Amino acid sequence: SLAYVARPHTHTSSYRRRTLEPASRRERALAPTSTNTSPIVMMASPAFLLLLLLAVSIRGSEAEWCVCRSDANETALQETLDYACGQGADCAPVATGGSCHSPDSVVAHCSYAVNSYYQRSSQTKGATCDFGGTATLSSADPSTYRAFSPCHS
């Protein structure tokens, strides 16, 4: 195929006009031979950007917290709390004297601990939020309706 390049055309008047002339062999060799479908060009396409934005907005709206069930047996909640703390949850804030110890209730401390465990482990170990039926996932931020606001992990 014959390629064309714009070359300046000198003219006696006060402006320069560009004309299309056949490209030289060297210019044709340097020109791309096909449409550019590199990953960078594909990523810049409007459709790709729209899909990326949609994926990010959907993922961003799926925030989940693991909370203990308020209707669960207190002994079972204490066992769940002990398990989560023993498996890497950050339980220092709900310990006596901790910044999130109040209210001093098993369900509040349990919710803090299981959410800490879930948030730390779900991304790396595929943790679930069940804990033998004592906990459940919630899409509502517990700090907005729980008495231990603003303490949540």
Q: Using CB atoms within 10 A of its CB, is residue 120 exposed (0-12), middle (13-18) or buried (19+)?
A: middle
Cβ neighbours for 116, distance < 8 A, ≥ 6 positions apart: 84, 89, 90, 91, 153
DSSP-assigned beta bridge partners for residue 101: none
Residue 124 pLDDT > 90, yes or no? no
pTM higher than 0.85, yes or no?
no
Domain extent at residue 82: 64-144
Number of domains in the chain: 1
Does 125 reside within a domain?
yes
Is the residue at 39 inside a domain?
Answer: no
pLDDT at 120: 86
Are 76 and 132 within 8 A, CB to CB? yes
Q: Are 116 and 84 in contact (CB under 8 A)?
A: yes
Q: Which is it for the CA torsion 139, 143, 147, 151, positive or negative?
A: positive
pLDDT digits (tens, 9 = 90+) for 75-116: 999 999 999 999 989 999 999 998 888 888 999 999 999 999
